[in-house]
Structure 1
């Protein structure tokens, strides 16, 4: 029976982390460290295969002398901390086998960390690995065949991650937003849609990342349909900005979920419509409305704003009144979750980090590479996010809100169902 190689064991840990089985992997923050370890171990295996002229457990006539003899532990220091890896050992060679790759690792930690990010960002091109594993004289430490084999295996891991099943995530809060990126040189920026979910365990998970020409209904609908096809259920609340295409697609694809309008976007819209001297008082009134103890009290405060400002600031009040129900949807939630769930700030902060990484690229280099680079940047930036606490009491509150939303949905479709039924004549049959 063949034993698993060191890269295969690392790959199993990485797959466990991707699938959310954190008890098997070292923790949520280990994605980059495991990716880095996998790159090093795959590279060392490739170096030994080049030296021996064969893969593990392969034998043949005229083979080079020497054989593999287990592993020993190595360590490389990175900004993510010390990363241990398993280095294959070789015995019975004419000259003692000395790994050129291990000798080069000490001074190449920056390149290795870049490769670890790009494992999920760009699929690790052959040139990426060749550049990282080249000595000071410019000599490649791995053959092109070995590098190609490594990149093919690692790219397959990335593809598996992108196709993962979402049914295991009991998503409570779903955040949807778009960011414009230059996907093609010389062309205008195009929207890239991103969706993050927060499950009942409080953990965040990146659910989807998709490019579209704009945030229109068709594009966002296709985005949501992909999430649905991979097993995403009905979130309790979906948070988005005011893009009409996103709003309509949410209402079509998630009719049983509440929809929250991002209040950070709404307050910026209001600030642009109110004179500077009136803004402090108007802002205080609006903020009190959005932070009311309940939706009923929020509506009473909104009535007061209507009485005082509808005639004085008609455009500002029209903006305030537009989609008002979605602006106070977060007031259904447990009190401790309201501040977190009333804006798309979770995505906005991640987009800032993503932009910081992408801005070093002067021109777009294709839709697929940009998406992969965005994915790697978002995943790494989100590792420091603390998550959200769900107590038993809050879970019971959430269950009650779900039941209420289901009843509202059933009540909304009942008149349509009744109208579609054939009428029965009141006259008696002959």
Structure 2
């Protein structure tokens, strides 16, 4: 027998379908507000019945006269967005007939509920706003303060559970980190929201962490990484990011046993801005050949050729190309079939598009907590649609060999205090460019 769901849960699913574009409507914003208003009404009515009966949806009564839930009755509320149908729970078996004070109150307060719905979608519900909408003409609160708090904190509780969960179940092989700048406070500069996701050793793609940061400096990003480390995140083979100095330094500090990959999509955009249009096709082809070479040794030879041919004509472009070159070709250490997936942070960029799409529907989501709620709601649902990659037994052996090689390099660096092979090769190519 299928377990019946409260009406509010069905409405929540419809709201999520609309947000995720599984439900197509002509006016998405209007339907979004209507569904959110309906959800608030149904959750409020269900909380009122719970308070009256003294038990949750699936709990039975203690005896005669306690009352019981007896299905639902349809109601309709007129609003500026049009008529909104909702389901009101019915109660039977009580000593005195149950009458919903909240339902009677709703008829003349549709505007407050619509504002509350927008608040829920764009900024996250506050207890004060909910209480204001659910007070009668005499100022009496129609819901218990417990019910008010539960409605307001549900999304935030979901985010906190996500941000505090144990990561030991994820054997992360490839870790990606990036930030999206959002205007958290009116009139202020945009501030970065950091996100991290990864590929596990089994090929699953998982969203790992979201955090608001005042800037992408070393201390902030290190705290972001240390939070994941504190929740049992291990050493990945490869950590992928853009070239933000704070992120780069934090990776090298927090993941000393991992290789660092610089996002090639960001790097190619940097190069395109420094090369004249008529020279770009050839420069791009040669840079791409180096970045996508069969091995790091061949990549270094191709880079040396590009430097020799373009150093006099395009010194700034060559300097950009050689900057952090070893990090640009770090992906060449890993199995060939994985390289395309790990040389950019593009998957995170697509997640940020999901988040911005929601902000366009309901703008002005001011505040760190509201923006994190929006990011969490949009990005976790987008991450649910990620498909795993297939990792063969041969590729697992290759990954294990890379792990052993990285560990050996780290131990040699610690034990002898000598430059790593990456530093030696960078110096070799730099000296070639000078000559």
The normalised TM-score by structure 1 is 0.71
Q: 1:151 Cα shift?
A: 2.1
Q: Distance in 2 between matches of 1:69 and 1:212?
A: 46
1:279 aligns with 2:283: no
1:151 is aligned to: 151
Cα distance in 2 for residues equivalent to 1:247 and 1:164: 25
In structure 2, the partner of 1:92 is 93
Shift of 1:149: 5.0
- Contact 2:207–2:383 under 8 Å retained in 1: no
> Is there any run of 5+ residues in structure 2 with no aligned partner, and where?
10-19, 21-35, 73-87, 107-112, 135-141, 419-435
Matched residue pairs, number?
A: 361
Whole-Å Cα distance in 2 between the matches of residues 370 and 284 of structure 1? 40
Distance 2:320 2:391 in 1: 34
What is the distance in 2 between the residues matched to 1:305 and 1:88? 73
Alignment of 1:246-257 (within 5 A): 246-257=247-258
Secondary structure of 2:212's match?
strand
Distance of 1:151 and 1:337 partners within structure 2: 44
Structure 1 unmatched ranges of 5 or more: 11-28, 30-35, 73-86, 105-110, 134-141, 418-430
Q: Flag the 1:152–1:313 CA change in 2: closer, same or farther, 3 A.
A: closer
Deviates more, 1:205-214 or 1:316-325: 205-214
CA-to-aligned-CA distance 1:292-329 (integer Å, 9 cap, x gap): 11111111211221221122221111111111110011
CA RMSD of aligned residues (A): 4.3
Equivalent position SS for 1:359: helix
Partner of 1:318: 319
Q: Which residue of 1 aligns with 2:305?
A: 304
Change (3 A) 1:412 1:361: same
Change in Cα spacing, 1:328 to 1:355, as seen in structure 2 (3 Å) is: same
- The answer on whether the counterparts of 1:238 and 1:258 sit within 8 Å (CA) in structure 2 is yes
Counterpart in the other structure of 2:208: 207
**CA deviation digits over 1:134-154, x for unaligned, max 9?**
xxxxxxxx8354741532673
Q: Classify the secondary structure of the residue corresponding to 2:417.
A: helix
Deviation at 1:385, TM superposition (A): 2.3
For residues 376 and 312 of structure 1, do their structure 2 counterparts lie closer, same or farther at Cα, with a shift above 3 Å needed?
same
Render the CA deviation track for 1:342-374: whole Å, top value 9, x for unaligned.
011011111122122223454452112212211
Question: Paired residue for 2:350?
Answer: 349
Q: Separation in 2 of the partners of 1:321 and 1:131?
A: 60
Superposition pairs of residues 29-44 of structure 1, within 5 angstroms = none
Q: Return the TM-score normalized by structure 2.
A: 0.70
Matched with 2:54 is 54
What is the deviation of 1:71? 8.5
> Could you say if the C-alpha distance between residues 312 and 395 of structure 1 is closer, same or farther in structure 2, counting changes exceeding 3 Å?
same
Alignment of 1:95-114 (within 5 A): none
Once the 2 structures are TM-superposed, how far is the Cα of residue 123 of structure 1 from its aligned partner? 5.7
Correspondence for 1:340: 341
Deviates more, 1:147-156 or 1:319-328: 147-156
Deviation at 1:239, TM superposition (A): 0.5
1:97 CA displacement:
9.6
Query: Conserved in 1, the CA contact under 8 Å of 2:198 and 2:205?
Result: yes
Shift of 1:185: 1.3
Match of 1:290 in 2: 291
Alignment partner, residue 196 of structure 1: 197
Provide the residue aligned with 1:84 in structure 2: none
Question: Which deviations, in whole Å up to 9, do the C-alpha atoms of 1:354-405 show, x marking residues without a partner?
Answer: 1222234544521122122112121122332223222222222111111111
Residue of structure 1 in register with 2:241 after alignment? 240
Distance, in Å, in 2 between the alignment partners of 1:169 and 1:118 is 32
Structure 1 residues 276 and 149 mapped into 2: Cα distance closer, same or farther (>3 Å)?
A: closer
Q: Quote how far apart the aligned CAs of 1:49 are.
A: 2.1
* Residues 401 and 219 of structure 1: CA distance in aligned 2, closer, same or farther (over 3 Å): same
> What CA distance in whole angstroms lies between the structure 1 residues aligned with 2:353 and 2:179?
12
Give the deviation of 1:195 after TM superposition: 1.1
1:251 shift after superposition: 0.4
Question: 2: distance between equivalents of 1:334 and 1:211?
Answer: 34
Q: Which of structure 1's runs of 4+ aligned residues deviate more than 6 A?
A: 4-7, 38-42, 57-60, 69-72, 94-98, 127-133
Mapped to 1, the partners of 2:177 and 2:356 lie a distance apart of: 17
Find the counterpart in structure 2 of residue 405 from structure 1.
Answer: 406
Check the 8 A contact 2:61/2:68 in 1, yes or no.
no
Rounded Cα–Cα distance in structure 2 between residues aligned with 1:189 and 1:264? 23
Residues 117-141 of structure 1: per-residue CA shift (max 9 Å, x gap):
969x8665458989999xxxxxxxx
Change (3 A) 1:5 1:122: farther
Q: 1:165 to 1:43 in 2, by over 3 A?
A: farther
1:258/1:329 contact within 8 Å kept: yes
